[in-house]
């Protein structure tokens, strides 16, 4: 077995390797642009050597992962936080990082993480693409609203109705303001059909997955939130308890407690930002349409603040969706969610 620890960078990679059969070891730097890295791994394949590669989770490495999959090499992707915690020396440079990854591979102590498949990653691009386009459209509509308000008109959503737009286009503006209005409206007309097409594609993908349809039975959860939840969480068996979902998504507070004094800060945000955004948005939708969710939200908002209440309800929604998915059940107001679900309840009376 050929063990390789890879410190990956977009333009090059530093490797430390060890051959278990012969005890040979070494270090090397491989460039990406001139094909040096690809030739190195293809040469190992031609020699018929079994290879295991270990690297930290990082971006801009899709081509490298596809290359190793094509060659049939084993790729382990590790948790950067856990790898950093295993570093003993207060020295960090490329060769030392590669040596650390190789040492963890040799000691069978590599913190391997779950990696989504190619289809999963491609569908995530659909979600991200629509999300970014919606953000761009929001910035355009905000600028149009600002133009109208500068002229003394506060139409809000009526601005984009047929009648409101006709009145907005009749406003007498300066030459550059008129050009800005015209070009922003053209951009808006160009983006709306594309966003609608992506929304329909998301709905088609959601209808093909029973688990997504099951999650959509929860109030406030639509095809976008349900599909994103399934794609990003992967499988419910990865988590033993529902509370771990909040940690994975990054919706739990940071904590620096010591000597019996608890100090809590803002949420950790150590997770997928898109799923976090969608969960909070879906929780607010649930609070608008469902009386129980509205009551819980108002109670939290009065005790703490609206911002804290929104995040707390989003975290609660993430846990509920986890148990619906894990137990293969649709939403029911009387359904209990948790590790105690389905167990006989014993009150304070006679046992």
Determine how many CB atoms are found less than 10 A away from the CB of residue 143.
15
What is the pTM for the complete model shown?
0.87
What's the CATH superfamily of 2-106? Answer: MutS, connector domain (3.30.420.110)
**SS percent in the chain: helix, strand, coil, step 5:** 55, 10, 30
End-to-end distance of the chain based on CA atoms, in angstroms? Answer: 59
HSE (side-chain half, CA atoms, 13 Å) at 322: 27
Distance between CA atoms of 214 and 202, rounded to whole angstroms?
16
- Please calculate the CA angle 127-128-134 and round it to the nearest 5 degrees: 95
Q: Do 5 and 15 meet the contact criterion of CB atoms below 8 Å apart?
A: yes
Give pLDDT, residue 257.
85
Residue 106 confidence (pLDDT):
94
Would you list the domain boundaries of the chain? 2-106, 118-207, 210-255+266-326
Q: What residues contact residue 158 under an 8 Å CB cut-off, 6+ apart?
A: 164
Per-residue pLDDT of the chain (351 residues; tens, 9 = 90+): 999 999 999 999 999 999 998 999 999 999 999 999 999 999 999 999 999 999 999 989 999 999 999 999 999 999 998 999 998 888 889 999 999 999 999 999 999 999 999 999 999 999 999 999 999 999 999 999 999 999 999 998 999 999 999 999 999 999 999 999 999 999 999 999 999 999 999 999 999 999 999 999 999 999 999 999 999 999 999 999 888 999 999 998 888 888 888 888 888 888 899 999 999 999 999 999 999 999 999 999 999 899 999 999 999 999 999 999 999 888 887 654 444 444 444 343 333
User: Residue 208: what pLDDT?
Assistant: 95
CB distance 218 to 324 below 8 Å: yes
Specify the pairing of strand 12-19 against strand 2-8: antiparallel
- Bridge partners, residue 253, by sequence: 267
């Amino acid at each position: 077995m050929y063990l390789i620890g890879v410190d990956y960078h977009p333009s090059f990679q530093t490797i430390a390797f060890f051959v278990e059969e012969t005890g040979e070891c070494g270090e090397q730097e491989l460039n990406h642009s001139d094909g040096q890295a690809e030739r190195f791994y293809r040469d190992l394949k031609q020699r018929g050597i079994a290879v295991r590669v270990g690297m930290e989770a990082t971006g801009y490495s899709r081509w490298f992962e596809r290359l190793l999959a094509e060659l049939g090499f084993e790729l382990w992707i590790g948790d950067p936080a856990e790898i950093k915690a295993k570093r003993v020396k207060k020295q960090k440079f490329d060769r030392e990082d590669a040596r650390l990854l190789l040492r963890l591979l040799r000691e069978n102590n590599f913190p391997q993480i779950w990696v989504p498949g190619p289809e999963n990653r491609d569908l995530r691009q659909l979600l991200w693409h629509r999300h970014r386009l919606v953000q761009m459209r929001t910035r355009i509509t905000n600028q149009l609203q600002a133009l109208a308000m500068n002229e003394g008109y506060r139409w809000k959503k009526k601005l984009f109705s047929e009648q409101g737009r006709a009145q907005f286009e009749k406003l007498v503006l300066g030459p550059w303001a008129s050009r800005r209005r015209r070009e922003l409206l053209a951009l808006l007309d160009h983006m709306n059909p594309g966003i609608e097409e992506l929304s329909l594609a998301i709905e088609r993908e959601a209808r093909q997955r029973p688990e997504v349809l099951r999650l959509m039975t929860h109030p406030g959860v639509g095809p976008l939130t349900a599909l994103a939840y399934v794609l990003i969480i992967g499988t419910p068996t990865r988590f033993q308890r529902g509370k771990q979902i909040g940690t994975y998504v990054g919706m739990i507070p940071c904590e620096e407690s010591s000597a019996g004094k608890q100090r809590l800060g803002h949420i950790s945000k150590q997770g997928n930002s898109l799923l976090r955004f969608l969960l909070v948005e879906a929780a607010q939708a649930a609070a608008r349409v469902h009386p129980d969710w509205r009551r819980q939200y108002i109670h939290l908002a009065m005790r703490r603040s609206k911002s804290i209440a929104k995040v707390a309800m989003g975290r609660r929604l993430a846990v509920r969706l986890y148990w619906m998915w894990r137990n293969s059940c649709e939403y029911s107001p009387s359904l209990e969610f948790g590790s105690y679900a389905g167990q006989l309840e014993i009150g304070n009376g006679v046992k």
